[in-house]
Structure 1
Amino acid sequence: MEHITRSARRTAWAVTGGATALVLLTATGAHAEGRGDVRVTSTVVNGGKNVKVGTKAVVTFPIAMTVQDDSGVKGVTDLSAFNSSNGYGFFDWTGTTCVKKTSTTSVCTGTMKVDPAWIPNSDDINSNNIAGTWQAAATVKANDGDYWIHDRIALFKVKRASAPTVNAGPEPVAKGGTLTVAGKLSRASWESLKYYGFAGTVLLQHRPSGSSDYRTVKTVTADGSGLLRTKVTVSSAGTWRWYFPGTTTTARAASAGDYVALG
């Protein structure tokens, strides 16, 4: 695995065929260089969903690019992704497959991969600061020798995984009685590869017996250690859970449900 850091992102991208090299000096603006009319006309990252990375599981996701040229599409020769604000990135490009749709258009899908164990050594800053808005960059080529390099074919979110837990009691509880719902909100640290509690805003939700839908009962903010605790008056048996809606850098998640009967 080849780790790609901020300094590597800002080196010149050499282009074959005697063309002038494109130098990407910043990660905050979009830069393009090319010859001819080959273009990436649209890009979908991870099916339009955020990319969530935890501490152990290997993460892969697709970047699907619609590429057009009047001579037909030869392929993708470079694909990368990095944080739009600071230029750091930790995903590897593992390959691309192109499917011809018409004589001038192909959909090329590249696969990006990261093992969280790579992340702490992929940069020289606090790796948690890499979460947030990212951009994808690509070099595409056509059958007639046209090429196009662009460092922002799409913007998307890469987020730290979160993991709320729940525990409700007493069990059972009398109808009209008071139920205490506790738990903890934790999120992944890409520096230590462990989960730590943090003070996020979480929704307490209840699903009555016989229902398939949760409804929000109240909003609670976890303390600095991520601990959650609140009291509710119970009118029916059912399942309780904490739902964290996420932030710009931390992924949304729901705890497992805790069923509480009436007694």
Structure 2
Amino acid sequence: MRIRTTATVLTSTVVVSALALPGAAQAAQHPGATTPLGAFASAGFEPQDALGGTTFSDGVVNGGKDIVLGVTGKKAVPVTFSAFDKEGVALTQAFLWQGTDSSSTDTITGGLQSDDDPVCTESPAEDGWNYSCKTVFTIDPATAFKDDNGTAGTWKLFLGAYDLYANASYDDDVTRTHIKRAAKLTANASPEPVKKGKTITVTGKLSRANWTTGKYAGYSTQPVKLQFRKKGSSTYTTVKTVKTNSTGNLSTTVKATSDGYYRFAFAGTTTGSATATGDFIDVK
């Protein structure tokens, strides 16, 4: 499956009105294919095979941040990009994909059909037309990734367009983003209060979203930093690094030195980062 969206681009050029793009454009094939887009086929046009002159730039997915998904709830992921064409653009397309061949459904995993169309604003350039475009992919992990946690990782942004003469252009790697499984982390320091110089035990658990089960599960053998913030300070410092056990649990000891907060912090992998809420220890 692909995270995909298509839309027409409004333009003042009279050719667009002649196209009369039908609703079939919403299910158009990607411009790299040798068969024509449904919209142009039904309008009687014979597009060439990716011979258009549209160029794409400035692709940004989710504001440049990782897309971190839990097990429930839809996430709106904004996408912006720019396009330029000497002839003007009639149709644009965007989707996220994984794999080695953007035209093969066998190598495109994960995804969700988008209900939001790109909105493009055109402006005249010295030798053509510039377009500033934006759209939103609404991703629900409960449906988009329910069969494969392995879709977490790097995704590529595909952009395609047809100009006003039905010539196709596309770029299947305009920019990249990372879709990650959300993580949770807890911390508890005890005993409290504690005498200065005595041993404190800090326990916690690192868990991450399992898209196939719809639940969070312990994340095993992961490095996690134990950090301390002295009372009155705003800065945490790393005390040591420990690893989670086979069920994601953490346990380590330190000597009590002063009042302050202990927490665990996980940097993340194909799983998002997580930081536990600091737990206060009163040292007598």
Shorter-chain TM band: 0.7 to 0.9
Q: 2:217 aligned to 184, 196, 209, which one?
A: 196
User: Would the alpha carbon gap of residues 169 and 38 (structure 1) be closer, same or farther in structure 2, given more than 3 Å must change?
Assistant: same
- 1:137 CA displacement: 1.2
Q: Distance in 1 between matches of 2:162 and 2:58?
A: 15
Give the secondary-structure state (helix, strand or coil) at the position aligned to 1:172.
coil
What is the total number of aligned residue pairs between the two structures? Answer: 240
What is aligned with 2:208? 187
Q: Distance in 2 between matches of 1:84 and 1:60?
A: 23
Q: 1:152 aligned to 173, 180, 190, which one?
A: 173
Structure of larger gyration radius? 2
Q: Distance in 2 between matches of 1:151 and 1:193?
A: 31
TM-score (normalizing by structure 2): 0.76
Give the secondary-structure state (helix, strand or coil) at the position aligned to 2:143.
helix
User: Would the alpha carbon gap of residues 205 and 14 (structure 1) be closer, same or farther in structure 2, given more than 3 Å must change?
Assistant: farther
What is aligned with 1:245? 267
What is aligned with 2:63? 47
Give the secondary-structure state (helix, strand or coil) at the position aligned to 1:113.
strand
Q: Report the structure, 1 or 2, having the larger strand content.
A: 1
- Contact 2:2/2:96, CA 8 A, preserved across alignment: no
TM-score (normalizing by structure 1): 0.82
Q: Distance in 2 between matches of 1:174 and 1:84?
A: 57
User: Would the alpha carbon gap of residues 146 and 218 (structure 1) be closer, same or farther in structure 2, given more than 3 Å must change?
Assistant: same
What is aligned with 1:60? 76
What is aligned with 1:24? none
- Is 2:59 the partner of 1:34? no
- Contact 2:78/2:134, CA 8 A, preserved across alignment: yes
User: Would the alpha carbon gap of residues 71 and 186 (structure 1) be closer, same or farther in structure 2, given more than 3 Å must change?
Assistant: same
- Is 2:258 the partner of 1:236? yes
- Is 2:151 the partner of 1:130? yes
Instruction: Using the aligned pairs only, state the percent identity.
Output: 32
**Amino acid across the alignment from 2:58:** S
- 1:106 CA displacement: 2.2
What is aligned with 1:218? 240
**Amino acid across the alignment from 2:227:** Q
User: Would the alpha carbon gap of residues 73 and 14 (structure 1) be closer, same or farther in structure 2, given more than 3 Å must change?
Assistant: closer
User: Would the alpha carbon gap of residues 72 and 172 (structure 1) be closer, same or farther in structure 2, given more than 3 Å must change?
Assistant: farther
User: Would the alpha carbon gap of residues 209 and 100 (structure 1) be closer, same or farther in structure 2, given more than 3 Å must change?
Assistant: farther
**Amino acid across the alignment from 2:96:** A
- 1:135 CA displacement: 1.0
- 1:175 CA displacement: 2.2
What is aligned with 1:106? 131
Structure 1 unaligned regions, length at least 5: 22-32
RMSD: 2.5
Q: Distance in 2 between matches of 1:202 and 1:34?
A: 51
What is aligned with 2:194? 173
Structure 2 unaligned regions, length at least 5: 4-28, 101-106
User: Would the alpha carbon gap of residues 84 and 237 (structure 1) be closer, same or farther in structure 2, given more than 3 Å must change?
Assistant: farther
- 1:251 CA displacement: 0.9
Which shifted more, 200-209 or 100-109? Answer: 100-109
Q: Distance in 2 between matches of 1:254 and 1:102?
A: 48
